[in-house]
Structure 1
Amino acid sequence: MSKSFWETVKGRRSIYGFSNEKVVSEDRIEQIVKDAVKYTPSAFNSQSTRVVVLFDENNRKLWDFTLEELKKLTSEEQFEGTKAKVNNGLASGYGTILFFEDQNVVKGLMDNFPLYKDNFPVWSEHTSAMHQYVIWAALEAEGLGASLQHYNPLIDQAVQKEWNIPENWKLVAQMPFGKPLGEPGEKEISDLDARIKIYK
């Protein structure tokens, strides 16, 4: 990584247009994912996050499944815009990372620590979010763009069947990534004084 930590944090943005040019190797993407899963924290060290990485034809299949499901829910006119968004901004990249949470792990914690029972599903979402952010920032550091999508539960069954996903893995998010085709627009930042309180 050639970028500093804060350069990476500041540079990470939602990118919706990218190419499938392999800016870094598949092995490098695999290592990023493994390191993120290994070192990202989780409540009670639950390690409940599961990740699937799809390249090439597998990536295309995911977005074909997505389009099939969306076509059932939209008018013909609306679908044309949706199809363009998916084909030109999500399916056009290098790959997609799927984030899951293992519900067996979550249930086990709920059973073993009843005092915190109601919190574990929420903490599971926090764990997933941290994994998403770490991987997203790491992709940015490598010169890749990404966005975070949520086509679950529409695509859950197709994903589960195609890639032999265990039933206890709950799909949380999809992160398509690739070489950015342009720069993101200026980000609007709301007043920090209204969002932060500091007492000295």
Structure 2
Amino acid sequence: MDDFIDYINLHILLSKKDIDLLKNVVTTIELPAHKVFIEAGTIDDHLYFLCCGIIKGYKNKDGKIVIEHLVDENNFFAAMESFMNQIPSLDSYETITNSKICKISRDNFKLLRDSITEWNNFIEIIYTQYLQCKTNRVQDFQLLTAKERYIKFVEQYPNLALNVSVENMASFLGIEPQSLSRIRKQITI
């Protein structure tokens, strides 16, 4: 919970009253590795903060898992469209490693919005980061080679590069696992 509060305090100033409210409305859960906790087709009512661990968000396209999100610790995530618009999620989310997650229900999210003056500014920051990540990902697929995408991934997310399987990383980067293995052998980072 302290990492969660610290992360928010990096972006907005929280009063003691704000922190007490957060501690009362945020639930912390621990999940084992390989646990699906958001299922595609269901409406997800939570915003999440990953305290520790690694999470993947994916679509199952005709039996093939296509990873669209890899989340490292100290980051917010959600089935964003589902949470914001109360529609069924297109993605499933699963722990890759044992994970500790703080979660805020939609009702408590509204309570925070009404109670903490700067909460809307904070959520705007989080949503802007989410959209920027999506935009960068599309641009990377359009402009970078597979090798360049891999190098950028390793530079930006060294913890993920070290702790995510080749199959998961390849899917996220839009590369076949065999091709990623060849790329990894060609370069040393």
Q: Shorter-chain-normalised TM-score: which range?
A: under 0.3
Which of the two has greater strand per residue?
2
Larger Rg: 1
Q: TM-score, normalised by structure 1?
A: 0.26
Kindly indicate whether structure 1 or structure 2 has the higher relative contact order, using CA contacts under 8 Å at least 6 residues apart.
Answer: 1
Q: TM-score, normalised by structure 2?
A: 0.27
